Amino acid sequence: MAQSEFALEAKGIGRRFGDFWAVKDVDLQIRRGSIHAMIGPNGAGKTTCFNLLTKTLQPSTGQIILNGEDISKLRTSDVARKGMARSFQISATFTELTALENVRVALQSGHGSAWRFWSPIRSIYSLNQRAEELLEQVGLSAARDMTSAELSYGKKRALEIATTLALEPEVMLLDEPTAGMGHEDIEPITALIRKVSAGRTILIVEHNLSVVSDLSDRITVLQAGQVLMEGTYAEVSSDERVIAAYMGGVDDAA
């Protein structure tokens, strides 16, 4: 298959809840190998948009195209196997499993071993080495045998990224990776995202504008469920409509 210029595209996607369109007529083009950010004031529809792209929600309208293939009708689990993996806004780890087991669950995806209820756990120790490599990549080697409930918030996020990486996704969607993080955790996570972006396409929803300016090649600004504009950080941050939208958002919140 000829590699198209865009790893992920959305054409006119929308989602309606009752009479309310949370996302309406959104077009997105995520260039292969880039880090693309989606920003917007609270309630702009970022997370809904994100959930539509990963098929956690079914779109009411429009098409989603991953590597030239229409994935609009597929399930989340199928999308994951086609090379697009996501993280969650609220850290999503398996709390009572150890860090190693967390990553190993993802490694079992498509491994066939996942159905073996009659085999001892030893039978998948062959996956441990790969899991350890992934933990090392995110700096969690020391936490290998700790349950994820015992990890700090920042480390949980790192573990989640290691778990996502286990799928070896071509396209990674990160939903507010720094949400709720203290200052000391933000920098390592940003560095980690940059590190894992090599050879991948990343779409990131993020509130923290310094993280956005730091990481992203292109930025899409959403407002009231629609695309306000798209451009580089310099273009976006100097656009009056964007400034007004953010100011408006602040006013609404106050």
Partner 1 sequence: MRIALILIGAALALAAPFFVYPVLLMTILCFVIFAASFNLLLGYVGLLCFGQAMFLGLSAYIAGQILKTTGISIELAIMAAALVSAALGAFVGFVAVRRSGIQFAMITFAFAQFVYFLLLQSEFTGGEDGMQGIPRTHLFGIIDISDSRTFYYFVLAMTVLAIFVVYRVVHSPFGEILKAIRDNEPRVESLGFRPERFKILAMTISAGLAGFAGALKATVFGFATLTDVSWTVSGEVILMTLLGGLGTLTGPMVGAGIIILMNDELAQFGEWALIAQGIILILVILFLRRGVVGEAGALVRRMKARRAK
Strand, helix or coil for residue 224: coil
Question: Where are any strands of DSSP class E within 3-143?
Answer: 6-17, 20-31, 35-39, 61-66, 69-70, 84-86
E strand or H helix at 219:
strand 218-223
Residue 92: CB minimum distance to partner 1, A: 4
CA gap 157, 129 in Å, rounded? 21
- If you compute the radius of gyration of the chain from its CA atoms, what whole number of angstroms results? 19
* Comparison of 67 and 93: residue with beta carbon closer to partner 1: 93
| Nearer residue to partner 1 within complex by CB, 30 or 85 | 85
Q: Cα dihedral angle (192, 77, 79, 15), rounded to 10 degrees?
A: -100
Provide, rounded to whole angstroms, the least separation between the CB of residue 134 and partner 1.
13
- Residue 184 Cβ, how far from partner 1 at the closest point, in Å? 26
Query: Minimum Å distance from CB 152 to partner 1?
Result: 18
Q: Which is nearer to partner 1, 140 or 166 (CB)?
A: 166
CB of 138 to partner 1, least distance (A): 16
3-state secondary structure at position 88 = coil
Q: Alpha-carbon distance 139 to 122, whole Å? A: 25
Give the nearer residue to partner 1 in terms of CB position, either 47 or 223.
47
CB-nearer residue toward partner 1: 123 or 232: 123
Summarize as ranges the residues that interact with partner 1 (CB under 8 A). Answer: 54, 56, 75-78, 80-81, 85-86, 88, 92-97, 101-102, 104-106, 108-110, 113-121, 123-124, 163, 166-167
